[in-house]
Amino acid sequence: MEVGVERVFIGAGCNRIVNNVSWGACDLLSFGAQNAVAIFCPKTAQILTTLPAHKAFVNCTHWLPSSKFAFKASNLETHYLLSGDADGTIFLWEFSLADKKGEGNAQIHGYDSTRSVKTLFPWRNVLQVPEKHKKGVTCISAIMVSQTDAIFASSSSDGIVSVWEVTLPSSPGGECKLSCLDALLVGKKPMVALSLTELPGNSGHLALAMGGLDNKIHIYSGERTGKFVHACELKGHTDWIRSLDFSLPLYENGETPSLLLVSSSQDKGIRIWKMALHESLANNRKEETSLASYIKGPIFLAGSFSYQISLESLLIGHEDWVYSVEWQPPENSSVDGIECYQPQSILSASMDKTMMIWQPEKTTGIWMNMVTVGELSHCALGFMVVIGAQMKVPSGHFAAVSDISWARDGEYLLTVSHDQTSRVFSAWCDESSSEDGKAWHEIARPQVHGHDINCVTLIRGKGNHRFVSGAEEKVARVFEAPLSFLKTLSHATSQKSSFADDLPVDMQILGANMSALGLSQKPIYVQASSDSKERNNSEGIDTLETIPEAVPVVFTEPPIEEQLAWHTLWPESHKLYGHGNELFSVCGDHEGKLVATSCKAQLASVAEIWLWQVGSWKAVGRLHSHTLTVTQLEFSHDNSFLLSVSRDRHFSIFAIKQTGADEISHQLVIKQEAHKRIIWACSWNPFGHEFATGSRDKTVKIWELENGSSVKLLMTLPTFKSSVTALSWLGVDRQRNHGIIAVGMESGLIELWSFSNTKSENSSIVVPNAALVVRFDPFICHVSAVHRLRWKTRRRTKMVRACSLRRVEMIIV
């Protein structure tokens, strides 16, 4: 069986930590997304790929060269990326523009001949820095000193700052050479901010600025081939230093160029320091003890040159910690490509939910706040990193993605996460989009909650779009799509006529609102929308005590973050009470009539499964069988049976039958111990009553329910290399009972296995058969446990959706 695989979409949130985002000269952004490094293209507003290698939380990334040196990189075919994690490990990645040409978004193809996915991929893991830090990497700063040579420094919580020289290959795929220039012990108060630069007028000498928990900026000077020595200290900040950035050389009136260093701190202030070449070494020594020299700032030596650093300006404007500052990248360069015009513009980001652009006033030269952008939505904490441009940004969860569910017609996907949100993703069509070239975007955030959300299911069947979610609370909540979402969805999918049946008669709910301290989302009615707009316009800026009302609108293009976080909520229609502990699993039948829920349990009396009738939302059944938490539930495709798997290593099958308008009969058909460890996943065959179970014991077993009363083990797939955490069965050919089982593992890897019934050669006996179809390349898989897999079938295209820690992916098969 030949299978082709192409990755369509990645949704991932950025790790909430300083120094995590970097903008490269190749015009791509990098950021840590849990244990992976995500690569984002600003032009398409899509995450192109994620790089797997780190075993811990990615703290920082840095491009070689960065956008600051883009004027030197116009002819480069190879770019490099550094990434550091919470375990102290640093990786160097190679990105080849030559390989990327003609490949679009780095498409991935699979071939059955090798039973693995072969990649046409522009990325390569070049090396791991051999001497890793003993604790987490907090910052990486790097500069290109030539086309093939770079210097980078890394700081860590272990109190050591390491400086490395890397020799890059002249062509893609070559060998990189790495050598350690120095390891600086900075004491018990570690450094968290670094910036490297070449000293003006002094070929071969470098300056390294570092700041951290001692509230001081430390300047070190050194040569490319020698050790770094402590040159001086810059005092002034009264709290931790959080960000440092050297400007490019400034050329004024033909004089020797100078440098500017900008620093930000938790003292809410920003300081600009000027580093200039001093007149002569003799004059320096005479002025070292004078008052004038003290006021101007410290002087340090670097080879035969001396430099003086003075405070240029103090910028006050932010009302909270300033986490990031950065100089505007250069706009043009000189003819020889060496000298470059450095714009006098600084961008800062703060926990006060604002970003500011600072520039010197034209007449006086005093640095002023020229532009302020923000406020963020009320739900946001603040700005952690600044990268310097406004555009559509990558969207996704920033904590574990716990469950996913397709809409009944597959037009969108709903995801929930431990970041306490649910999100809707859909392919957004425009006039220039082809069927295969649609870009996926987040189009709504139906639920913003106060608890981690563990499970979700979209209600199938006719009528309005509804879903049921369960969180770290004892109540399940029912949400119903408002009018604004339905109309936005029609714009996104360009299928306006198909949503006529979804609109209830005289629908009056436009959106939803939520109070600051409440967990419920209250409906906003059509007639009340104009009143809320008028109130918001007159109330001014919101605070933590006064929350502005949401203003639901119909979007004709993908919404931005502020709109998503506050104006796309769905109203909560019902609460389902009954469970004694936090909700853990939920599923709906295939006709949209029943919903089953389970909760965390350590006793048989608590491990019961509740059945709810869709519409009336009455409890119509309480199913008893398991003794520990039921980890997954799934109805058979004919809705006759409900399958449950549990931490108690058993699966149970219940016969479900509707006996009246509001009555459901249920009976335990069988309970059987199936695995040696926890059973995490289960899935029914769409064409029959076969089902698969996956366990922590690294096995997948395929069973058959016979005559509705007994179960037979058909086969056990070969042992996997990691615990099986997710399963999803796709029907391909009903006549041959042929299907594909997607298997997700704790390692983040995904495999596809075919299942079919074949007749034996010597008799007419039907024998079940399973075979590995494709094993996905790690570059297109997750880097942590796969929590859920969901197939979507539409026309001739089959799609599988996988969710994992902080990351969501779609693969077309």
> Residue 467: in which H helix or E strand, if any?
strand 466-471
Q: In which residue are the tokens 């790097």 written?
A: 142
Position 425 scores a pLDDT of 95
Regions of the chain short of the pLDDT cut 50: 101-120, 280-289, 335-338, 377-378, 381, 432-434, 497, 537-546, 795-797, 810, 812-813
Q: What does each C-alpha distance from 596 to 515, 576, 635 come to in angstroms?
A: 29, 11, 9
Assigned token pair, 251: 């050329």
Peptide bond into 663 cis (omega under 30): no
Buried b (16+ CB within 10 A) or exposed e, 156-183: bbbbbbbbbbbebeeeeeeeeebeebbe
Give strand ranges (E) for 58-115: 58-64, 78-85, 90-96, 108-111
Peptide bond into 65 cis (omega under 30): yes
pLDDT digits (tens, 9 = 90+) for 636-675: 999 999 999 999 999 999 999 988 777 889 999 999 999 9
Q: Cα angle vertex 581, ends 577, 583, to 5°?
A: 70
Position 148 scores a pLDDT of 87
Assigned token pair, 420: 């306490």
Position 419 scores a pLDDT of 92
- What size, in residues, is the chain? 813
Q: Which amino acid is at 513?
A: N
Checking phi first, is residue 806 left (phi over 0); if not, alpha (psi -120 to 50) or beta? Answer: left
Say if residue 286 is exposed, middle or buried (CB neighbours under 10 Å; 0-12, 13-18, 19+).
Answer: exposed
Q: Cα angle vertex 93, ends 87, 96, to 5°?
A: 165
Please count the other Cβ atoms lying within 10 Å of the Cβ belonging to residue 601.
23
Return the DSSP state at 493. Answer: H
Position 237 scores a pLDDT of 96
Q: Describe the strand order of the beta sheet including 259-265 as a list of residue ranges.
A: 241-246, 259-265, 269-277, 305-316, 299-302
Task: Round to whole Å and give the CA distance between 221 and 326.
Answer: 22
Task: Round to whole Å and give the CA distance between 98 and 109.
Answer: 19
The strand pairing partners of 49, in sequence order, are 39
Give strand ranges (E) for 601-689: 609-613, 619-623, 630-635, 641-646, 650-658, 664-673, 679-684
Return the DSSP state at 255. Answer: P
Helices of type H across 368-480: none
Please count the other Cβ atoms lying within 10 Å of the Cβ belonging to residue 801.
24
560 contact partners, CB below 8 Å, separation of at least 6: 392, 393
